[in-house]
Amino acid sequence: MSAQPLAHSTAPIELATILPPEVYQQAVNQAELAISITDPKARILYANECFLRVTGYQLADIVGQNQSLLSNRSTPSTVYGEMWTALSARRPWSGKLLNKKKSGELYLAELLVTPVLNPAGELTHYLGMHRDVTELHRLEKTVRNQKHLIESVIDAAPMAFALLDPTGRIVLDNQEYKKLVTDMQVREPAHHLLDLLRPGWRETLLGDAERCEFSSRETRMDRTAGRARWLSVSASCIDIHSDCADSYFCAGGQPGLLLVISDITNLREEQERARGAALKASLAEEERTAAIREGLSAAVFRLEEPLNVMASAISVLQRRDPASAEMLRHALENSREHVESLRQVIPQSPQEMVISVNLNEILRDVLEICTPRLLNAGITVDWQPSPILPPLYGRPLQLRMLFKALLENAIEAMNVKGWLRRELQISSQLVDDCIRISLLDSGPGIPEEWRHKAFEPFFTAKSGVGKHIGTGLSRAQQVVADHGGIIDLDESPSGGCAAIVEFRIDGDPI
């Protein structure tokens, strides 16, 4: 800004008539700011008491001396160049200089130099005001170094950090958190995880932030490419102090939420390997039991057909040949007793406890178990899981049997001699309040007139000697129904079969 002669202003003239000149001198001399007045050649003409205290000089030592007496000669010449360029243009200049006291001690001076002009606009003096900001500079550097150190430690930490303000805005994060943005393919992983682990957190954070706190909650993150990741998430409530001027006199801060996200994938994978071995044995045992149960049920079903014929024959013979009818009735009763004995030895389905399960985890278990068959059949699997799925309450063993049956049906459909295209797409997604699992194969498909029959007991599209009769998809449909879901068969985009299974999130297993 350009300097204007003070004499042109009427206000100072009016004040001068009220205040005697010695008041101005006393005010300047007693001001807690180092003030000096020099001539146009920067020779000191006057210095106040604060100037003498800061520099350590006596007035007699500096009057007539050039202001450069205080210079340590280590301030860059460019700084002095900028200062004299501004002063030569009759403009004030402010900045920092490294000065030296009479004792030789260095100090950092925050300086403001203003040209003093007479009524004619001619330069007569320079007014200098400065203060020792050495301690302030040290504190600023200390805070800056600590901030840099904290940021470096946070960025080097193996876990992800995210600090949310009361509105849910991310105000601080680290490099590991930024990696989650790429891995989860969402704008704010913190919001996604909180929506999953602490529903309604936005309203709670504004009203009662402490209710948002939780510790070491685990969730699984499945990706289209690469292995699944297990995350352990903790949330802590902390105070965030505002830097706005209107909060200067406020003692407390606003509640914020610190999210700490740790990757526990390696630990869970070790646990999963041990669990996988036990799971394979459990599934194999259940399959053997199911095969026995299925075979015996089929035998009972087949045996009841001739027994029903015998019952009809007895009704006819009862009038014509009572003796033969009585003999046949005894034979029928004995046969029914044997069939009932056979029905009694049919193994019962295991009674599983209903627990919280992740369907992505169920599908991965099934894929790992079926990997050898998939490789032998030359089938390419396109696994497209939803990164995060809400938990479903169900029976994990039955659900694994369900998807294993669907997967094996798809393998058998494509594993036909001469069939070239062998692709299987498996996806999971959250649609409204339902979890939808889709298995789309590129096999020959199921004729439309068979799609409803496929769910009938003992229906099979297999033929030939030695082929397993099977029970079609009736058992799979029963598992889906027991979990409050639906299953449907349709044509896949490649012309094969599309098996679609949907479960309501709030559905309760029967």
3-class secondary structure per residue, 428-493: EEEECCEEEEEEEECCCCCCHHHCCHHHCCCCCCCCCCCCCCCCCCHHHHHHHHHCCEEEEEEECC
pLDDT at 471 over 50: no
pLDDT at 353: 87
**Mean pLDDT over residues 83-105, rounded?**
94
Give the CA-trace dihedral at 63, 64, 65, 67, to 10 degrees.
80
Backbone angles phi, psi at 22, to 5 degrees: -65, -20
**pLDDT tens digits, one per residue of 124-176:** 999 999 999 999 999 999 989 988 888 888 888 888 999 998 888 998 899 99
Confidence grade of residue 462 (pLDDT, cut at 50, 70, 90): low
Contact 480, 504 (CB under 8 A): no
d(CA 202, CA 195): 9
* Closest to 86 in 3D by CA, of 113, 59, 119: 113
Alpha-carbon distance 55 to 492, whole Å?
Answer: 88
Residue 469 — very low, low, confident or very high, per pLDDT cuts 50/70/90?
very low
List the structure tokens of 84.
Answer: 């004299």
Q: Which pLDDT belongs to residue 185? A: 78
- Tens of pLDDT, residue by residue over 297-347, are 777 777 877 878 778 878 877 777 788 778 888 888 888 888 788 778 777
Identify the band that residue 113 occupies on the pLDDT scale cut at 50, 70 and 90: very high
| CATH homologous superfamily, domain 6-137 | PAS domain (3.30.450.20)
Q: What was the pLDDT predicted at 387?
A: 83
Could you tell me which of 95, 78, 93 has the C-alpha nearest to residue 126? 93
Q: Which CATH class is domain 157-241+252-263?
A: alpha beta
Question: CB of 129 within 8 A of CB of 112?
Answer: yes
487, pLDDT greater than 60: yes
Range name among 247-251, 444-448, 489-493 with the lowest pLDDT average: 247-251
Residue 58, pLDDT score: 94
Residue 440 has pLDDT above 60, yes or no: yes
Residue 147 belongs to what H/E stretch?
helix 134-156
Q: What is the pLDDT of residue 376?
A: 92
SS3 label, residue 408: helix
Write the burial class of residue 409 (CB in 10 Å: 0-12 exposed, 13-18 middle, 19+ buried): buried
Share of the chain above pLDDT 90, in %: 39
Q: pLDDT digit string (tens) for 194-242?
A: 998 988 898 888 888 888 899 999 888 776 666 778 899 999 988 876 6
pTM: 0.47
Amino acid present at 246: D
Specify the pLDDT at position 207.
80
**What is the domain partition of the chain in residue ranges?**
6-137, 157-241+252-263, 266-350, 352-510
Mean pLDDT, rounded, for 26-54: 93
| The listed CATH number (3.30.565.10, 3.40.50.2300, 3.90.1580.10, 3.40.50.11540) that belongs to domain 352-510 | 3.30.565.10
Count of CA atoms in the C-beta half-sphere (13 A) of 345: 10
Where residue 2 falls among pLDDT bands split at 50, 70, 90? very low
pLDDT of 252 reads 59
pLDDT band at 44 (very low <50, low <70, confident <90, very high): very high
| pLDDT at residue 93 is higher than 90 | yes
Give me the phi and psi of 389, to 5 degrees please: -120, 140
Domains 6-137 and 352-510 share a fold: no
> What does the pLDDT read at residue 3?
39
The whole-number pLDDT of residue 133 equals 95
pLDDT at 205: 87
Q: How far apart are CA 101 and CA 108, in angstroms?
A: 10
Residues 6+ apart with CB under 8 A from 32: 50
Q: Which residue has the higher pLDDT, 43 or 315?
A: 43
> What single-letter amino acid sits at 84?
W
Taking CA 138 as the corner, what is the angle to CA 135 and CA 140, rounded to the nearest 5 degrees? 110
CB-based contacts of 485-490 (< 8 A; 24+ apart in sequence): 487/455, 489/446, 489/451, 489/454, 490/451
The candidate with the shortest Cα–Cα distance to 44, out of 63, 29, 28, is 63
168-172, 192-196, 263-267, 454-458: lowest mean pLDDT where? 454-458
Average of per-residue pLDDT across 381-403: 90
Q: What's 273-336 look like in SS3? A: HHHHHHHHHHHHHHHHHHHHHHHHHHHHHHHHHHHHHHHHHHHHHHHHCHHHHHHHHHHHHHHH
SS3 3: coil
Contacts of 5 (CB under 8 A, 6+ apart): 117, 118, 119, 120, 121
Compute the distance between CA of residue 463 and CA of residue 449 in angstroms, rounded to an integer.
18
The confidence score (pLDDT) of residue 86 equals: 95
Lowest mean pLDDT among 214-218, 287-291, 417-421: 287-291
